[in-house]
Amino acid sequence: MTNSRLNRRRLLTTAGATAIATGFGGIARTYLSHAADRPVITHGIQSGDVSADSAMVWARADRPSRMTVEVATTESFKSIHSGVYIDALPESDFAVKTLLEGLPSGQDIFYRIRFADLSSPTTVGEPMIGRFRTAPADRRSVSFVWSGDTAGQGWGIDEARGGMRAYATMLKSRPDFFIHNGDTIYADGPLAAEVKLPDGTLWKNIVTEEKSKPAETLAEFRGNFQYNLIDKNVRAFNAEVPMLVQWDDHEVYNNWWPGEPLPINEHRNTKYKSSNALLLAARASRAFHEYMPLRVTPAEAGRVYRKISYGPLLDVFMLDMRSYRGPNGEGKEEGYGPAAYFLGPQQLAWLKRELLNSRATWKVIAADMPLGLVVYYDGAKKWGVEAVAQGDSGPPRGRELEIADLLSFIKRAGVRNTVWLTADVHYTAAHYYDPNKAAFQDFEPFWEFVSGPIHAGTFGPNDLDNTFGPQLVYVKAPAKEQGQNLSPAAGLQFFGHVAIDGATGVMTVTLKDADDRALWSTKLEPKPA
């Protein structure tokens, strides 16, 4: 499928089609039958990977249709800036996304999407309008939010409790964009219709067929993405805030690694028909890229890691800590080789190169897993290494070798103002990495901020590994008497907010909860390049 820029004549034609689609004028009746016969946008609209002059937009139809996207700088669409079209076909589950180019920088952009039935092109559905703000060309102030972990551990959409209401809370901040740090779905987490809470009340999930069992087929993975888009808060947020997204493990299944034979993960009882993780991961990756508004990398169609430039103040480096890792074993590797890969050599070389070439004041590294927190492969037995930290607080080994190499490179190359943002562990925390208190000391101090879940079970806190000297500055996690896997009703759902001042370059990081309470905040002064 290819997209095509619309000329003025086509834009005038499609603008007329909007009038037909919305029923304006008596002529509409000669083109359209009943509303039920029109193509429908089934799961809202989304935008993502916004730059100074471009952005991705996404929608899904209910049938083979042609999606037309019109772009304007005002909500009235009085003057249409540009437009594209692309066909929604069964091969992509009628989900389509396209790149809008040639946009003005630092501008509110409105986009209008509608579908025309391919079997009856004059049958046009109702349009939906979304918006985003392009990155500035000057030192305009920038703000964004980040979190991870959506619809996990059995906690789906309970409409009586407001659904996924933390998304509505994030929308109140009117951020320029949202970084979703992964676990965008829980493909391995089927939902029960009712779950009894400690206070005796019931959590009542909406349950779809695809969410009633762990995902194995492509249709089931697609259904997991569709499920989250049922929620009105998510759809409203997606229409207003562009997303920068990465994936982690639950897009496939808990703690997977490429080539993992099934079933060997002792803390998972699911009996998969596949003999290893790769087939499941391939299906999951296809669904992820179909349903998420991230840019396509021609050289590697399924690639997740990429850089998003958002003006002179900010570059965002989206990592993939899942696709290129070695086995989740005991983590005893002393030397660097395939068993110790985490980012993998190619991604690591890319990250070094892009950090070195970055001229932005701040370099935000979005990681789907934290650096210094101990995450076990088998949590019940506290065995094996799932994240970076080896758990021995000693010199770097195993997966820590890549991070040690990266941190030393950042120091030697004089890369200033790096900040790590992550999720995965289902609580919120602020860690200051101090080489003077670390087993490995060849790096400059830096901050790592953890947030999430945005709508999933709350856990933690995890132990810190001292290899890179993380100091716990703030943490909000379940109290011991509360236990683990707290539902969203407990109120321990978290996201982070970042504001960069255009005049001073100062970055303010605030950790917040679903009720929009500021739990903790700090101001970071940029160092000169």
The model's pLDDT over 398-443, given as tens digits with 9 standing for 90+, comes to: 999 999 999 999 999 999 999 999 999 999 999 999 999 999 999 9
* Domain contains 220: yes
Say whether both 206 and 104 belong to one domain. Answer: no
Say whether both 125 and 154 belong to one domain. Answer: no
In this predicted structure, what is the pLDDT of residue 333?
79
- According to DSSP H, which parts of 130-249 are helical? 165-172, 218-228, 232-240
Do the beta carbons of residue 447 and residue 524 sit within 8 Å?
yes
Taking the alpha carbons of 278, 283, 284, 288 in that order, is the dihedral positive or negative? positive
Say whether both 168 and 102 belong to one domain. Answer: no
* Domain contains 47: yes
- Write the CATH number for 15: 2.60.40.380
The closest of 36, 33, 30, 32 to 62, measured between CA atoms, is 36
In this predicted structure, what is the pLDDT of residue 35?
61
Q: Taking residues 281-306, what's their average pLDDT?
A: 94
18 pLDDT exceeds 90? no
Q: Taking residues 198-220, what's their average pLDDT?
A: 97
Assign residue 49 a region: left if phi > 0, alpha if psi is -120 to 50, beta otherwise? left
215 pLDDT exceeds 90? yes
* Domain contains 182: yes
Beta carbons within 10 angstroms of residue 264's beta carbon: 10
Looking at 82, 99, 133, the residue that finishes a domain is: 133
Say whether both 358 and 424 belong to one domain. Answer: yes
* Domain contains 138: no
463 pLDDT exceeds 90? yes
* Domain contains 431: yes
* Domain contains 115: yes
Tell me the two tokens of residue 370.
């934290």
Q: Taking residues 470-474, what's their average pLDDT?
A: 98
Tell me the two tokens of residue 366.
């979005």
**Looking at per-residue confidence, does 309 or 332 come out higher?**
309
Tell me the two tokens of residue 93.
């589950």
Contacts 24+ apart (CB under 8 A), 431-437: 431/370, 431/372, 431/464, 431/470, 431/471, 431/472, 431/473, 432/470, 432/471, 432/473, 433/371, 433/372, 433/468, 433/469, 433/470, 433/471, 434/469, 434/470, 434/471, 435/469, 436/469, 437/466, 437/469, 437/471
Band of residue 31 on the pLDDT scale cut at 50, 70, 90:
very low
Say whether both 306 and 446 belong to one domain. Answer: yes
- Write the CATH number for 413: 3.60.21.70
20 pLDDT exceeds 60? no
479's CB contacts (< 8 A; 6+ apart) are: none
CA angle 150-364-50, nearest 5°? 70
Tell me the two tokens of residue 336.
């660097």
* Domain contains 529: no
Say whether both 81 and 199 belong to one domain. Answer: no
Q: Taking residues 305-318, what's their average pLDDT?
A: 98
Looking at 133, 166, 196, the residue that finishes a domain is: 133
Taking the alpha carbons of 281, 286, 290, 292 in that order, is the dihedral positive or negative? positive
Q: Can you tell me the distance from the alpha carbon of 35 to that of 302, in angstroms, rounded to the nearest whole number?
A: 37
**Amino acid at position 287, single letter:** A
The pTM for the full model equals 0.92
In this predicted structure, what is the pLDDT of residue 7?
33
288's CB contacts (< 8 A; 6+ apart) are: 184, 221, 225, 247, 251
Band of residue 331 on the pLDDT scale cut at 50, 70, 90:
confident
Q: Taking residues 90-101, what's their average pLDDT?
A: 97
- Report CA dihedral (439, 443, 447, 449) to the nearest 10 degrees: -70
* Domain contains 197: yes
In this predicted structure, what is the pLDDT of residue 330?
80
Say whether both 433 and 322 belong to one domain. Answer: yes
Band of residue 255 on the pLDDT scale cut at 50, 70, 90:
very high
Which tens digits make up the pLDDT trace of 174-185?
Answer: 999 999 999 999
Say whether both 94 and 126 belong to one domain. Answer: yes
1 pLDDT exceeds 70? no
pLDDT above 90 covers a percentage of the chain that reads: 84
Assign residue 106 a region: left if phi > 0, alpha if psi is -120 to 50, beta otherwise? left
300 pLDDT exceeds 90? no
Q: What share of the chain is helix, strand, coil (3-state, %, to 5)?
A: 20, 30, 50
504 pLDDT exceeds 80? yes
Say whether both 102 and 169 belong to one domain. Answer: no
Tell the burial category of 354 from Cβ atoms under 10 Å away from its Cβ (0-12, 13-18, 19+): middle
Domain containing 324 equals 143-524
Looking at 101, 133, 165, the residue that finishes a domain is: 133
**Looking at per-residue confidence, does 53 or 84 come out higher?**
53
Band of residue 19 on the pLDDT scale cut at 50, 70, 90:
very low
| Among 245-259, 266-280, 396-410, the least confident range | 266-280
The domain tally of the chain equals: 2
Say whether both 191 and 256 belong to one domain. Answer: yes
Q: Can you tell me the distance from the alpha carbon of 522 to that of 51, in angstroms, rounded to the nearest whole number?
A: 27
The closest of 46, 529, 53 to 309, measured between CA atoms, is 53
DSSP 261: B
In this predicted structure, what is the pLDDT of residue 264?
59
Say whether both 125 and 155 belong to one domain. Answer: no
Give the gyration radius of the chain's Cα atoms: 23
285 pLDDT exceeds 90? yes
Say whether both 459 and 418 belong to one domain. Answer: yes
**Looking at per-residue confidence, does 491 or 36 come out higher?**
491
DSSP 291: H
Provide the mean pLDDT of the chain. 91
